[in-house]
Chains A and B, each alone.
Chain A
């Protein structure tokens, strides 16, 4: 993995050093690191010549910009109305049972973090979840077990679409 400092510099070279480049840079760091550490934020602040507090204030506004250490795979299970109606709770219990973590926690091996999120826009295929940027929908306990198992078995090496992302 690229050292954070180099990564930030490369992102700033690419997106620019204006304030309007802040989100793409934060996103770029999160893509690699999964979260924004204190160090990342001070480096971004330095690179963009922004107050560190502003970087913190901005980052904490956005649900996908975590500021606590996260696992390699962040599971975001949708909890909004349709998913909740269509068995989100069963899916949640299944994941918690399989990974032995609760919402907000990370597995001891640092591979998975479990979070809940608001509407993912897959209400017609509820329940839905994201694992990093991949969408999984029409989940059943069996299906989610299969998906997570495939992630575990690939030894954290990433798993290509278990099901089709869209339509």
Chain B
């Protein structure tokens, strides 16, 4: 039984479990204490000092985030002393911060700006320190821009990169007045171990870390009458976009999103869910062929477990940090890149459009997708397969710029040919979704029966547990798959690169005897992606996940191989999974990278 203690906050007594921070206790009793360096996803740093409060009997103020409640403690959060101190701290942060808010990408969604507004910092008493610092903007990465002049040294990005992602591309460097966040030897973000996952961007309270945006490029393309600008939308976008446009977290806005994209002027609005279903066909087949290669043909060169390859942050992670394990990666391109390769081949051919006139745009919950689209090998269509990648946030900006009243939009449907999808494609947006979709199809392919879970819901791979495991024993397979009879198919799911590292280290030590593992770079999967609305936190991720599964269960078709457009594309264009055309357009290779 946990010990409970009594604490008084601004005169009201409340009971909390021992070990509760003053910040949490205050939030529980409806008292808001401002924070900056604090983030629910991260360990407590206690370094910005914005959350200082007064404890009766103590001369010094305490940081509410870093101070545990003690029995009988009397806390005051709104005294003159506290207000003056907070104001001073905000003023100090502003004095070291490039506060040209109107030209800042985070204008309107900046935590420092909000505090300055709340506390009405009307005059700049202290000296502007920016002229004394030699700040440069690092804009060499295709995904992330780092502007140190906006940095307030809260170290949320450093903690994100280390704790959530185990990438450690960012570090606090130097000390005192020279202290700042850098990469190894202050290299550009595109020269280091950075996976472009964008979690640092999503956790940054200011405009110090932002996505490289391609909004103007897309506007130009849309206004070019000679171009066919075609857009695809990733599954997680539809459960996040609403948050930027007036909806509460967890609201599905699929139909409104499609309507908005049409109003923006896209020639065709199609769905990455379609290529998610296609991925299942290719990846599922690849898994079965790997199983055969290992179990029947006893081939040493074929690696198990097979790892999913949809998440470009994860791909770059393994390329940097586990380069000797690239053989485990499925050769399947991600759904975005499959779509890109098909839109300028299959779609162009079907619609009789000159592929050189197609501008292929994708809306992704992800910043790493920008890097992925720019990978030199991603031109199998003969053109750049995906021309521009926009994050969920960038799309919201475009919708606002276009003067679209999102709340009042009608619901519309995706365009045909590459716009149909199943519930299996939708759940790609949540951790465990690829695994669940793959099992739904693979099990049926092998046995001719539905996967043995109620309503096809493979619940063991759902939820926010960091590493999830599941196994299915295959019984009475069809005769082509007789070698799988009685085989217990062992699967695992990891989301967030720290959890990916956990599995990879186990694999390195020979302790991961799985057949198939799903890896997603971001916590919660794509719904918690670096390109999703800010803030993203554990509660919001849970709400978005519920929305994804609700979307799935409401779909008439919930298995990828049932998707009629998938059936059609194999019949009309691709032939069969892992066939020659698939191989050329839908599969890829990986490269080894340095680990710093």
Are A and B physically bound partners?
yes
Q: Residues on A close to B: CB < 8 A?
A: 38, 41-42, 45-46, 51-57, 60-61, 67
Q: Quick check: A53 and B168 within 8 Å, CB to CB?
A: yes
- Closest B residue to A51 by beta carbon equals B168
Shortest distance from the beta carbon of A99 to any chain B beta carbon, whole Å:
25
Closest chain-B Cβ to A132's Cβ sits at a distance in Å of: 22
Known: A60-B174, A61-B173. 8 other contacts (CB 8 A): A46-B595, A51-B168, A51-B193, A51-B596, A53-B168, A53-B170, A55-B184, A57-B182
A56/B185 contact (C-beta < 8 A), A45-B596, A61-B175 known: yes
Q: Which of B167, B169, B171, B596 contacts A42 (CB 8 A)?
A: B596
Judging by beta carbons under 8 Å apart, are B596 and A57 in contact? no
B149-199 with Cβ < 8 A to chain A: 162, 167-175, 182-185, 192-193
* Shortest distance from the beta carbon of A156 to any chain B beta carbon, whole Å: 28
* Cβ-defined contact, B184 with A56, below 8 A: yes
CB distance from B178 to the nearest CB of A (A): 9
Considering the complex, give the chain B residue whose CB is closest to the CB of A63.
B175
Q: List 15 A-B contacts (CB under 8 A).
A: A38-B184, A41-B184, A42-B596, A51-B162, A51-B167, A51-B171, A51-B193, A52-B184, A53-B182, A53-B184, A53-B193, A56-B182, A57-B172, A57-B173, A60-B173
Chain B residues closer than 8 Å to A55, beta-carbon distance: 184
| Size band of the interface chain B makes with A | 10 to 19
Q: How many Å from the CB of B171 to the closest CB on chain A?
A: 3
Q: Which residues of A contact B182 (CB under 8 A)?
A: 53, 56-57
Chain A residues within 8 Å of B172, by CB:
57
Complex Cα gap A53–B162 (Å): 10
Pairwise interchain contact B171-A56, C-beta atoms closer than 8 A: yes
B174 near A61 with CB under 8 A, answer yes
Contact (Cβ within 8 A) B185 A41: yes
Residues on the A chain within 8 Å of B183, using CB: 53
Chain B residues with CB below 8 A from A42, complex form:
184, 596
- In whole angstroms, what is the CA distance A51 to B167 when docked? 8
Partner of B171 from the list A38, A46, A53 (CB cut-off 8 Å) is: A53
Q: How far is the CA of A41 from the CA of B187 in the complex (A)?
A: 14
State the CA gap A61–B174 with chains docked (Å). 5
Contact of A54 among B168, B174, B175, B192 (CB under 8 A): B168
CA distance A159 to B580 in the complex (A): 74
Q: Which residues of B contact A67 (CB under 8 A)?
A: 185
Question: In the complex, A51→B168 CA distance in Å?
Answer: 6
